[in-house]
C-alpha cells in the first residue's frame, strides 16, 4: 500500500510476532476461550488472524469450536482498499485451516456507525484492537472521504475532551456491556499518563484489572512498527473487567517477557506510572508515594505560571529559554529571584532542569516560573527538582515533551523541615563557592528528603549515570 494512504488512514499493521506474544500473554489470564471476538479497527486482519491462531494453540480447540468462534467474530474496517486486503487475507487463512464458517466482515466506521450495534452483547467478549494513533487532524494528503470522517470523529469526541483517535476507540469499546469483557489494546504510552485520558483510566481501574507492557518502538526488532517513530514508547494493555475488588488494579512491566509488577496509581488523574526499568519498580513506587509539590504550595504562597514570551514577541530572542539556561544556574540577587523549570526533549539524558534567575528577566513560554517569597525554599526546590528521584518520577509519569503546571505540581517534592531548609541553603552555598558539585548536593538532600538508603542512591546513579545535556545545552 502506498505511503500516503497509510498516513491518511492511520494504517500501521501490528507486527505478527508482537500480536502473537501479546495475545498469548493475555490468554494466560483467561480460563476459557471467548464466545465473541470484536476487532473495531481490523486493517489488513493481522491482529485478528494472530488471535485465532493463538486460540487454537492455547485451548487445543476442535474444528467445531473454532468454527463457532470464527462465526461470532466481528471485524470493522472503514477504508475500502484495506478492507479488500483483509478479506483476501482471511479467506486464505480459513482455506489453509479448512474452516468452513465465515466471520462478519463489516465495511463501516466503528466509531460513527457500528459500536452501538454491539453495546448489549452479554456473552464472554474479547476485543482486540490496534486503532489509529493520530490526533483529530486532517492533512494535505488525506482523501476526501477520510477528511470528512476525521471531522465527524472529532465532533463525536469533542464532548468527551479526547484528543486522539485511540482514546475515543477505547471509550466506545468500554461501553460494551458484557460483564466478562476482556480487551487487548495497542496505543502510545501516553494513555497511561495524559490528562485527557484520565476518564478512561478511571473507568479501567474502577471496573477491572490492567496489565501494561511498555517498550520503545526500536528496542525489540521483531516488534517494531514500520514508519513509526523509533523512540515512541508503545503500551500494550491487557484488560479484564471484573466486579471483584482486587488488591491491585494495575500491573506494569518493561518489555514483553518480564514479570509484571504492581504499581501505585498516582495523583487524582489516575496516572499509571511506568518505571524506566523493571528493576526500579519498587524504588519508583516509594518515591511516588511521597507528598507532591501541590500538597503545600498554597500555605507557602507558591504559585506556578508559564512564561509570557512566545515566538511572535519582539524580545523572543532575548528571553530566558531552555537553550540558554542550564540546570543549577544560580542567581544570587536575593529577593529579586525566581525559580524556573522546563522539561527537555525526549532523547535528552536529563528530563528536568531547574534554575534560579532574576525575576525581572523575560521568560519563554516553553518554561514555567515558580514564584516563591522565601529564598531558602528556592534553594530547596532547585536541588530537589534537579535530583535523580524527581528524574525517575517524571520519566515514570509521562512521555510528553512539555512540562505543564499540572504535571509539575504532581511531582514528588515533600514539604521540607526546618533542618532540611538549612541543609539546602548550606549545600547551595558550597556549590556556588565551587567546593561541592551540584549533582552531589542534589543527591545529599534527596537522600534525606526521600529517606533513601545508600543502595537506593546507587541504583539511581546507575539509572542516570550521565545527566549532561546532549542537544539541549551545555553540561550541568
CATH number at residue 50: 3.40.50.150
- pLDDT category of residue 476 using cuts at 50, 70 and 90: very low
Do residue 150 and residue 260 come from a single domain? yes
- Contacts of 264 by beta carbon, 8 Å cutoff, 6+ apart: 273, 285, 288, 289
Residue 278 is assigned to a structural domain of this protein? no
Do residue 114 and residue 261 come from a single domain? yes
Q: 459 lies in which domain range?
A: 293-463
- pLDDT category of residue 153 using cuts at 50, 70 and 90: confident
Cβ 278 vs Cβ 255: under 8 Å: yes
Cβ 332 vs Cβ 373: under 8 Å: no
Do residue 392 and residue 452 come from a single domain? yes
- pLDDT category of residue 141 using cuts at 50, 70 and 90: very low
CA 22 to chain centre: 18
Q: Write down the H helix ranges in 60-111.
A: 63-71, 80-97
Residue 476 is assigned to a structural domain of this protein? no
Do residue 124 and residue 246 come from a single domain? yes
Position 5 pLDDT exceeds 80? no
- Least confident range from 19-28, 93-102, 172-181, 337-346: namely 337-346
Do residue 215 and residue 297 come from a single domain? no
Tell me what pLDDT residue 473 has: 34
Residue 285 is assigned to a structural domain of this protein? no
Position 449 pLDDT exceeds 60? yes
- In this prediction, residues 350-363 reach a mean pLDDT of 86
% pLDDT > 90, the chain: 54
Do residue 310 and residue 425 come from a single domain? yes
- In this prediction, residues 293-305 reach a mean pLDDT of 91
- pLDDT category of residue 155 using cuts at 50, 70 and 90: confident
Do residue 334 and residue 406 come from a single domain? yes
How many angstroms separate the Cα of 311 from the Cα of each of 30, 315, 365, 366? 54, 9, 9, 10
Q: Tell which of 221, 238, 272 closes a domain.
A: 272
- Least confident range from 249-253, 388-392, 430-434, 461-465: namely 461-465
Cα 91 from Cα 40, distance rounded (Å) = 19
> DSSP string of 288-349?
HTSPBGGGSTTTTT-EEEE--B-TTSTTGGGSB-TTS--TT-B---GGGEEEEEEEPPTT-S
- pLDDT category of residue 243 using cuts at 50, 70 and 90: confident
pTM beyond cutoff 0.75? yes
Question: Between these two residues, 47 and 398, which has the higher pLDDT value?
Answer: 47
Q: Which three cell numbers stand for residue 421?
A: 531548609
Residue 277 is assigned to a structural domain of this protein? no
- pLDDT category of residue 333 using cuts at 50, 70 and 90: low
Q: Write down the H helix ranges in 327-470.
A: 375-385, 388-397, 405-410, 418-433, 438-449, 454-463
pLDDT in tens, 209-235: 999 999 999 889 999 998 888 888 999
Residue 399 is assigned to a structural domain of this protein? yes
Q: Tell which of 223, 240, 272 closes a domain.
A: 272
Residue 283 is assigned to a structural domain of this protein? no
Do residue 45 and residue 131 come from a single domain? yes
Question: Between these two residues, 350 and 30, which has the higher pLDDT value?
Answer: 30
Tell me what pLDDT residue 335 has: 54
Tell me what pLDDT residue 469 has: 41
Beta bridge partners of 343: 352
Residue 443 is assigned to a structural domain of this protein? yes
Do residue 257 and residue 176 come from a single domain? yes
Cell 517513530 identifies what position?
229
- Least confident range from 197-206, 344-353, 367-376, 409-418: namely 344-353
Cα 38 from Cα 238, distance rounded (Å) = 15
Cβ 87 vs Cβ 125: under 8 Å: no
Q: Which three cell numbers stand for residue 434?
A: 565551587
Determine the Cα angle at 191 with ends 187 and 195, to 5°: 155
Question: Between these two residues, 129 and 475, which has the higher pLDDT value?
Answer: 129
Residue 236 is assigned to a structural domain of this protein? yes
For the CA atoms of the chain, what is the radius of gyration?
A: 25
Mean pLDDT of the chain: 86
Question: Between these two residues, 263 and 113, which has the higher pLDDT value?
Answer: 263
Q: Tell which of 272, 304, 337 closes a domain.
A: 272
Do residue 208 and residue 158 come from a single domain? yes
Residue 330: closest CA among 448, 447, 437: 437
Tell me what pLDDT residue 37 has: 95
Do residue 36 and residue 182 come from a single domain? yes
Beta bridge partners of 368: 306, 341
Determine the Cα angle at 114 with ends 208 and 192, to 5°: 35
Do residue 126 and residue 264 come from a single domain? yes
**Torsion-angle region of residue 451: left (phi > 0), alpha (psi -120 to 50) or beta?**
left
Domain total of the chain: 2
Beta bridge partners of 318: none
Amino acid at each position: 500500500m502506498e505511503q500516503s494512504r497509510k498516513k491518511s488512514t492511520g494504517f500501521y499493521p501490528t507486527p505478527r510476532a508482537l500480536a502473537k506474544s501479546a495475545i498469548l500473554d493475555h490468554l494466560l489470564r483467561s480460563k476459557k476461550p471467548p464466545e465473541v471476538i470484536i476487532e473495531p479497527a481490523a486493517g489488513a486482519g493481522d491482529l485478528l488472524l494472530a488471535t485465532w491462531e493463538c486460540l487454537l494453540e492455547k485451548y487445543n480447540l476442535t474444528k467445531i469450536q473454532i468454527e463457532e468462534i470464527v462465526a461470532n467474530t466481528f471485524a470493522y474496517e472503514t477504508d475500502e482498499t484495506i478492507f479488500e486486503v483483509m478479506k483476501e487475507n482471511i479467506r486464505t487463512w480459513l482455506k489453509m485451516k479448512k474452516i468452513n464458517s465465515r466471520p462478519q466482515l463489516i465495511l463501516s466506521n466503528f466509531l460513527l456507525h457500528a459500536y452501538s450495534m454491539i453495546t448489549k452483547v452479554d456473552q464472554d467478549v474479547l476485543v482486540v484492537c490496534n486503532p489509529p494513533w493520530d490526533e483529530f487532524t486532517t492533512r494535505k494528503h488525506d482523501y476526501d472521504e477520510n477528511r470528512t470522517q476525521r471531522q465527524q470523529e472529532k465532533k463525536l469526541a469533542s464532548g468527551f475532551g479526547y484528543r486522539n483517535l485511540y482514546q475515543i476507540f477505547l471509550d466506545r469499546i468500554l461501553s460494551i456491556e458484557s460483564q466478562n469483557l476482556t480487551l487487548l489494546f495497542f496505543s502510545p504510552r501516553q494513555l497511561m499518563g495524559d490528562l485527557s485520558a484520565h476518564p478512561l483510566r478511571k473507568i479501567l481501574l474502577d471496573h477491572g484489572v490492567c496489565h501494561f507492557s511498555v517498550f520503545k518502538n526500536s528496542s525489540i526488532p521483531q516488534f517494531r512498527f514500520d514508519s513509526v517513530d523509533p523512540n515512541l514508547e508503545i503500551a500494550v494493555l491487557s484488560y479484564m473487567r471484573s466486579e471483584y475488588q482486587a488488591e491491585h488494579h494495575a500491573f506494569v512491566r518493561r518489555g514483553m517477557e518480564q514479570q509484571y509488577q504492581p504499581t501505585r496509581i498516582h495523583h487524582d488523574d489516575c496516572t499509571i506510572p511506568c518505571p524506566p526499568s523493571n528493576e526500579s519498580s519498587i524504588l519508583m513506587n516509594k518515591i511516588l508515594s511521597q507528598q507532591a509539590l501541590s500538597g503545600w504550595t498554597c500555605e507557602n504562597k507558591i504559585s506556578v505560571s508559564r512564561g509570557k514570551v512566545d515566538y511572535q514577541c519582539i524580545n523572543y530572542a532575548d528571553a530566558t529559554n531552555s537553550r540558554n539556561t542550564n540546570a543549577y544556574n544560580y542567581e544570587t540577587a536575593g529577593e529579586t529571584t525566581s525559580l524556573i523549570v522546563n522539561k527537555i526533549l525526549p532523547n535528552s539524558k536529563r528530563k528536568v532542569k531547574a534554575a534560579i534567575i532574576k525575576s525581572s528577566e523575560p521568560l519563554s513560554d516553553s518554561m514555567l516560573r515558580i514564584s516563591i517569597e522565601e529564598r531558602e525554599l528556592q534553594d530547596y526546590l532547585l536541588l530537589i527538582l534537579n535530583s535523580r528521584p524527581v528524574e525517575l518520577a517524571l520519566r515514570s509519569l509521562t512521555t510528553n515533551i512539555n512540562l505543564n503546571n499540572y504535571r509539575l505540581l504532581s511531582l514528588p517534592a515533600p514539604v521540607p523541615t526546618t533542618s532540611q531548609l538549612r541543609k539546602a541553603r548550606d549545600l547551595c552555598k558550597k556549590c556556588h563557592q565551587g567546593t561541592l558539585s551540584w549533582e552531589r548536593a542534589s543527591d545529599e538532600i534527596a537522600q534525606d528528603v526521600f529517606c533513601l538508603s545508600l543502595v537506593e542512591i546507587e541504583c539511581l546513579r546507575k539509572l542516570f549515570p550521565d545527566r549532561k545535556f546532549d542537544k539541549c545545552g551545555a553540561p550541568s
